[in-house]
Structure 1
Amino acid sequence: MSHTHCRRISFRLAGLGVCLVLACGPGPDSTPDPATEPQPSLSPEATAALVGAFQAELDAAWAQAQETDENFPGATAAFILPDGRVFGFATGLSDVDDEVPMTPDLRMGSGSIGKTYVAAVALQLAMNGDLDLDAPVATWLGDEDWFSRVPNHADLTVRNLLNHTAGMIQPYFEDPDFAVRLGEVFRDPDAYMTPEEFIAETVLDAEPLFPAGGGYHYSDVHYTLAGLAIEEATGRTYYDLLDEFFLDPLGLDLTLAADRRDLPGLAQGYAHRSSQLYGTPLEVVVDGRFILHPLQEWTGGGLVNNPQAMVRWAKLLYEGEAISGDDLPQLLEVGFPADSTRPHLGYGLAVSVAESEHGLTYGHGGFWPGYNSLLAYYPDHGVAVSIQVNSDDSRMRDHMPRLAGVVLEALDGTEG
């Protein structure tokens, strides 16, 4: 894996937004080779124009949200160009009551985007010969007293779990009784369900939705089981493997394991949706600490993140650079096509493969009380775009196409 060194250049644009540019190049110990170094995708003048246009679009999205009463206190966003340069942005407010501006380096819970890292860890273990994705999950969890009560337990493979073809419900949104129980847990800031408790509360003795491999249904329970299998197979914690394989060597310093309440650099989050679902307070950060224990999510998501790190992660992951080995065919192979006429579209190993108005995309979304996140990589362009909003009830999917369009149109202009 190659390493890069990023030089930070900060400047303020008009309005609420602050733009941080990360000019990335070879690491300090590397010797640049002019024949192999990527050339800048845009001239300095075109880059400055793109940065200004992207910030203006992000500010416009925030301003429009205020007029339409959308729950959009503030946002961070970023894009990465084909040459690897990353640009980070912010708009609106990190803290509404104290009128604290959002800034580009703040972290938010990234929800199920964390699944992309879990699948990458599993796939790296498979490349290393330490985990067989097509072996029965019972290989590692079969001795647990509760495992025989898991739906489809006899036929489940790790791949079924990672591509959501294992046939279990998504309890966070489909089980009203679970929402009540989770609300009771959330009343104690230091409480959370262990993975085993979460499984016991949601799927034990339930009828499967379909036979293993016989359909697609998204569920966090799948990734909880995958996390337990990963730890049993290796004798190590998932977070240790994540640090060793990806976060440390790739320099993803803005991405942190959400394994405690006192995580640095948090933007205030506003749980507009979760307060209705689970009875949580509206503000999820008090004195720099989460009021809900993030370990409730674990391998269902389990990270605090930032768009600048996420776009770097997406480019490395979906261009085959993050994982050592020929991983892309497995990563992008959908388990159950979303459209039988287009069998390449659907859900792979923690990646949604879809068509957008800007062409094919690989990516994921994420929800955690107080935050919404979205990450998209455009393989035809070598570009990734990400946005995080510090509300869990915003309409990010309306904003992402316009933000991506600003970047892709600027690149198309140079190519034309």
Structure 2
Amino acid sequence: MAEQDEGPAWSGTALVVRGSEVLEERALGRTAGADSPACGPGSVFQACSISKLVVSAVVLALVEAGDLDLERPVTTWLDDLPARWSGITLHHLLSSTSGLGHWGDVPGLPRLLTAPPPLDELLALIAAAPPVTPPGAAWRYSGPGFLTATRVVDAVTGQPWATTAEILVLAPAGMTATRSGAAPAGPDLAVGHDHGRLRPLHPGFAAITGSGDLWTTAGDLVRLNQALRAGAVVSTRSAALLWTQHAALPAGEPGGGPMTLTGYGYGTFLGHVRGHRARVNPGDMPGYETLLAHLPDQDLDLAVLCNEEPPSRDRALAGLRLP
């Protein structure tokens, strides 16, 4: 049973698991305002950038199948990209070393992307944006890079991203409550909030695969972490690439509070959570904050899903009882 807390400290669900043992399960707040159901284990949240872990696993599965190559230029599969992208590989995209930059580096987009333009327009703006660095020269977190990786996957598989993600990652991991696409309907949906005010996510985010398309539960996220380590999605050798450091983070990059982030693998940060060595997948979106982490020294998986703006996630993390 989830422990239902009192008070305004944060809103969402949190789960700490070792193997099959639930060490702590907490919930606070409501899914969609004062008269809505309380948040609980079955509540479905926007995963935010945890979806980059799913993108990375899908690409690795296709690499194992011989359909993709991490070191080949993405222009191999996408012929509508600018010539200056010819040096960008899938390795660069997954490790955020492509030089494409993040949403705030794309001229014509608001620095905080709250109302995405239609996908065709967004892709055109990304293609026209000048690179921040040459490919492979430096780390720079890049939502556009992961969106491009999903376009490569779509081109190779010839099917919608949501179908590929379901077949290659969600189903093998046993993530039965998770979906890619538009926000699901129903009382289990946790709607975003901003200081207690409802802030429904703009529907355009569903088209931004790798950033705003994934809806999930805390339990499903823990299942994903465990399935990746067990070799149920890709081989353990391929999965290790997710948390192998491919780039060091510059000083002052995101973290703070209970998290310290120092390196980046494929769609995964490396660092510490509450002082413990950790593989970290954080995310944020208008109205949401999320976190999936594995603490290898303690053999712990933890998931935090919040439907409230900062500092909801930090408050949830600070209250968890970690060994």
Normalised to the residue count of structure 2, the TM-score between the two structures is: 0.86
- Which residue identity is paired with 1:353? L
The alpha-carbon deviation at position 353 of structure 1 amounts to 0.8
Quote the sequence identity (%).
24
Take 1:366 and 1:135, find their aligned partners in 2: how far apart are those partners?
A: 28
Match for residue 376 of structure 1? Answer: 293
Aligned match for 1:198, one of 122, 147, 161: 122
How much does 1:180 deviate? 8.3
Counterpart AA for 1:350 = G
**Counterpart of 1:375 in 2: which secondary structure?**
strand
Q: Distance in 1 between matches of 2:183 and 2:240?
A: 37
Q: Which moved more, 1:307-316 or 1:84-93?
A: 84-93
Match of 1:263 in 2: 185
Count how many residue pairs are aligned between Structure 1 and Structure 2: 313
Q: Which residue in the other structure is 1:123 paired with?
A: 60
Tell me if the contact between 2:53 and 2:266 (Cα under 8 Å) persists in the aligned partners: yes
Shift of 1:181: 11
Q: Which residue of 1 aligns with 2:109?
A: 178
Separation in 2 of the partners of 1:325 and 1:354?
21
Asked if structure 1 preserves the Cα contact closer than 8 Å seen for 2:97 and 2:135, the reply is: yes
* Aligned residue runs from structure 1 range 373-412, under 5 A: 373-403=290-320, 406-407=321-322, 409=323
Shift of 1:345: 4.7
Give the partner amino acid of 2:34: D
Aligned-residue offset at 1:398: 4.5
Return the alpha-carbon distance in structure 2 between the equivalents of residues 325 and 392 of structure 1: 35
1:335 aligns with 2:246: yes
Equivalent residue, structure 1, for 2:258: none
In structure 2, distance between residues paired with 1:140 and 1:331 = 23
Letter in 1 for 2:178: T
Matches within 5 A, 1:183-262: 193-194=118-119, 196-201=120-125, 203-257=126-180, 259-262=181-184
| Partner residue in 2 for 1:107 | 44
Counterpart residue number, 1:3: none
What are the within-5 Å matches in structure 2 for residues 68-107 of structure 1? 72=10, 74-83=11-20, 85=22, 88-98=25-35, 100-107=37-44
1:101 is paired with a residue of what secondary structure?
A: coil
Q: Confirm or deny: 8 A CA contact 1:261 1:291 kept in the other structure.
A: no
Q: Distance in 2 between matches of 1:339 and 1:178?
A: 25
Separation (CA, whole Å) in 1 of partners of 2:109 and 2:183: 23
TM-score (norm 1): 0.68
**Equivalent-residue separation in structure 1 for 2:107 and 2:76 (angstroms):** 33
Q: Deviations over 1:263-313 (max 9, x none)?
A: 34202321459xxxxxxxx5244xxxx653432432224111111111121
Matched residue of 1:63: which SS? coil
Higher relative CO (Cα under 8 Å, sequence separation at least 6) belongs to: 2
RMSD between aligned alpha carbons? 2.9
What is the distance in 2 between the residues matched to 1:178 and 1:388? Answer: 27
Summarize the Cα distance change of 1:330–1:384 in structure 2 as closer, same or farther, 3 Å threshold: same
For 1:56, the equivalent position in structure 2 comes to none
**Matched residue, 1:52:** none
Quick one: which of 92, 96, 110 aligns to 1:164? 96
Is the alpha carbon distance of 1:284 and 1:181 closer, same or farther for their aligned partners in structure 2, counting shifts above 3 Å?
closer
How far apart, in 2, do the equivalents of 1:245 and 1:86 lie? Answer: 29
CA distance in 2, matches of 1:364, 1:111: 10
* Equivalence for 1:28: none
CA distance in 1, matches of 2:74, 2:204: 28
The DSSP-based 3-state class of the residue aligned with 1:134 is coil
Name the CA shift for 1:315/1:325 in 2 (closer, same or farther; >3 Å). Answer: closer
CA offsets 1:31-67 (integer angstroms, 9 cap, x no match): xxxxxxxxxxxxxxxxxxxxxxxxxxxx3xx6362xx
For residue 28 of structure 2, what is the amino acid of its counterpart?
Answer: T
Aligned-residue offset at 1:133: 0.9
Secondary structure of 1:385 counterpart: strand
User: What is aligned with 1:39?
Assistant: none
* Equivalent residue in structure 2 for 1:315, among 226, 231, 235: 226
Letter in structure 2 aligned against 1:214: A
Aligned to 1:154: 86
Q: Shift of the alpha carbon at 1:399?
A: 3.4
Structure 2 stretches lacking a partner, 5+ long: 252-260
1:283 pairs with 182, 189, 198, which one? Answer: 198
Aligned pair partner of 1:351 in 264, 268, 273: 268
- Please say if residues 182 and 203 of structure 2, whose CA atoms lie closer than 8 Å, have aligned partners that are also in contact: no
1:401 & 1:174 partners in 2: Cα distance? 32
Deviation of the 1:315 alpha carbon: 2.3
Residue deviations 1:170-206 (CA, integer Å, cap 9, x gap): 12x45684128966x56xxxxx522x422212x3333
More helix by share: 1
- The one-letter amino acid of 1:351's match is T
Q: Secondary structure at the match of 1:129?
A: coil
